[in-house]
Amino acid sequence: MKYRAMAVGTDGVRVMMESALTARDRVGVQDFVLLENHTSEVAFIENLRKRFKENLIYTYIGSVLVSVNPYKELEIYTKQHMERYRGVNFYEVSPHIYAVSDNAYRAMRTERRDQCIMIAGESGAGKTEASKKVLQYYAVTCPASDHVQTVKDRLLQSNPVLEAFGNAKTLRNDNSSRFGKYMDIQFDFKGAPIGGQILNYLLEKSRVVHQSHGERNFHIFYQLIEGGEEDLLRRLGLERNTQQYQYLVKGNCPKVSSINDRSDWKVVRKALSVIGFSDDDVEELLNIIASVLHLGNVQFGAEDGGNAWIAAETQIKYMSRLIGVDVAVLREALTHKKIIAKGEELMSPLNQEQAAAARDALSKAVYGRTFTWLVNKINDSLAFKDDSRLTSKNASVIGLLDIYGFEVFQNNSFEQFCINYCNEKLQQLFIELTLKSEQEEYESEGITWEPVQYFNNKIICDLVEEKFKGIISILDEECLRPGDATDITFLEKLEETLGGHAHFVTHKLADGKTRKVMGREDFRLLHYAGEVNYNVNGFLDKNNDLLFRNLKEVMCMSENKILVQCFDREELTDKKRPETTATQFKNSLAKLMEILMSKEPSYVRCIKPNDAKQSGRFDEVLIRHQVKYLGLMENLRVRRAGFAYRRRYEVFLQRYKSLCPETWPSWNGRLVDGVSTLVKHLGYKPEEYKLGRSKIFIRFPKTLFATEDALEVRKHSIATKLQAGWRGYSQKTKYRKLRNSAIAIQAWWRGILARRRAQRRRQAADTIRKFVKGFIYRHQPRCPENEYFLDYVRYSFLMKLHRSLPKSVLDKSWPTPPPALAEASELLRKMCMQNMVWKYCKSISPEWKHQMEQKMVASEIFKDKKDNYPQSVPKLFVGTRLNGEDINPKVLQTLGNEKMKYAVPVTKYDRKGYKARTRQLLLTGSSAIIVEEAKMKQRIDYNALKGISVSSLSDGIFVLHVPCEDNKQKGDVVLQSDHVIETLTKLAICADKINSININQGSITFTGGPGKEGIIDFIAGSDLIINKAKNGHLSVTAPRLNSR
Residue of 92, 122, 163, 407 marked active site: 407
SS3 962: coil
Q: Which residues pair with 936 in a beta bridge?
A: 931
CA distance 491 to 681: 68
- Give the DSSP H or E segment for 832: helix 822-843
Name the active-site residue from 177, 396, 558, 707.
177
Cα separations in angstroms, 855 against 532, 673, 849: 70, 97, 10
- Cβ–Cβ < 8 Å for 121, 630: yes
Q: Annotated catalytic residue: which of 59, 67, 101, 123? A: 123
Preceding peptide of 701 cis, ω within 30°: no
Decide if 730 is catalytic.
no
Give the helix ranges, DSSP H, for 630-666.
Answer: 632-641, 649-656
Nearest to 961 by CA among 900, 1019, 1006, 1023: 1006
Does residue 530 come out as left (phi exceeding 0), alpha (psi in the -120 to 50 range) or beta? left
**Cα–Cα distance, 176 to 138 (Å, whole number):** 24
Q: Is 176 a catalytic residue?
A: yes
Residue 176 in contact with residue 183, Cβ under 8 Å?
Answer: no
The span from the CA of 865 to the CA of 872, in Å, is 13
Contact 1026, 1034 (CB under 8 A): yes
Q: In what order do the strands lie in the sheet with 957-961?
A: 935-941, 927-932, 916-924, 900-909, 973-976, 957-961, 947-951, 997-1000
741 is catalytic: no
Q: Which sign, positive or negative, has the C-alpha torsion 815, 821, 826, 829? A: negative
- 407 as an active site residue: the answer is yes
116 contact partners, CB below 8 Å, separation of at least 6: 104, 398, 399, 400, 401, 595, 596, 599, 600, 601, 602
55 CB burial (10 A radius; 0-12, 13-18, 19+): middle
First to last CA, the chain: 87
Which of the following is catalytic: 173, 423, 533, 544?
A: 173
- How many angstroms separate the Cα of 866 from the Cα of each of 853, 1026, 1043? 19, 18, 11
Query: Choosing from 121, 124, 196, 228, which is the catalytic residue?
Result: 124
User: CB 416: neighbour CB atoms within 10 A?
Assistant: 20
Reply yes or no on whether 598 is catalytic.
no
Alpha-carbon span 105 to 84, nearest angstrom: 15
According to DSSP, the residues that pair with 400 across neighbouring strands are: 117, 183
Reduce the DSSP state of residue 859 to 3 states and report it. helix
Measure the CA angle with vertex 909, ends 906 and 912; round to 5°.
165
177 is catalytic: yes
Query: From CA 369, how far away is CA 384, in angstroms rounded?
Result: 24
Question: For residue 432, what is the enclosing H or E element?
Answer: none
Indicate the length of the chain as a whole number: 1044
The residues, ordered by sequence, that sit 6+ positions from 547 with a Cβ below 8 Å of its Cβ are 361, 362, 365
* Given the residues 128, 544, 949, 952, the one annotated as active site: 128
Cβ–Cβ < 8 Å for 201, 585: yes
Residue 183's DSSP bridge partners are 198, 400
User: Does the annotation mark 674 as catalytic?
Assistant: no
Q: Which of 94, 176, 506, 543 is catalytic?
A: 176
Provide CB contacts within 8 A for 734, sequence distance 6+: none
Helix, strand, or coil here: 940? strand
Return the closest-CA partner of residue 968 out of 947, 1011, 939, 931.
Answer: 939
Q: Which of 121, 251, 405, 642 is catalytic?
A: 405
Residues 6+ apart with CB under 8 A from 736: none
Instruction: Report the alpha-carbon distance of residue 300 to residue 309 in Å, rounded.
Output: 5
DSSP state of 412: B
CB atoms within 10 A of CB 809: 12
HSE-CB of 293 using CA atoms within 13 angstroms? 26
* Residues linked to residue 904 through DSSP beta bridges, in sequence order: 921
Active site residue 124: yes
Active site residues: 123-124, 128, 173, 176-177, 405, 407
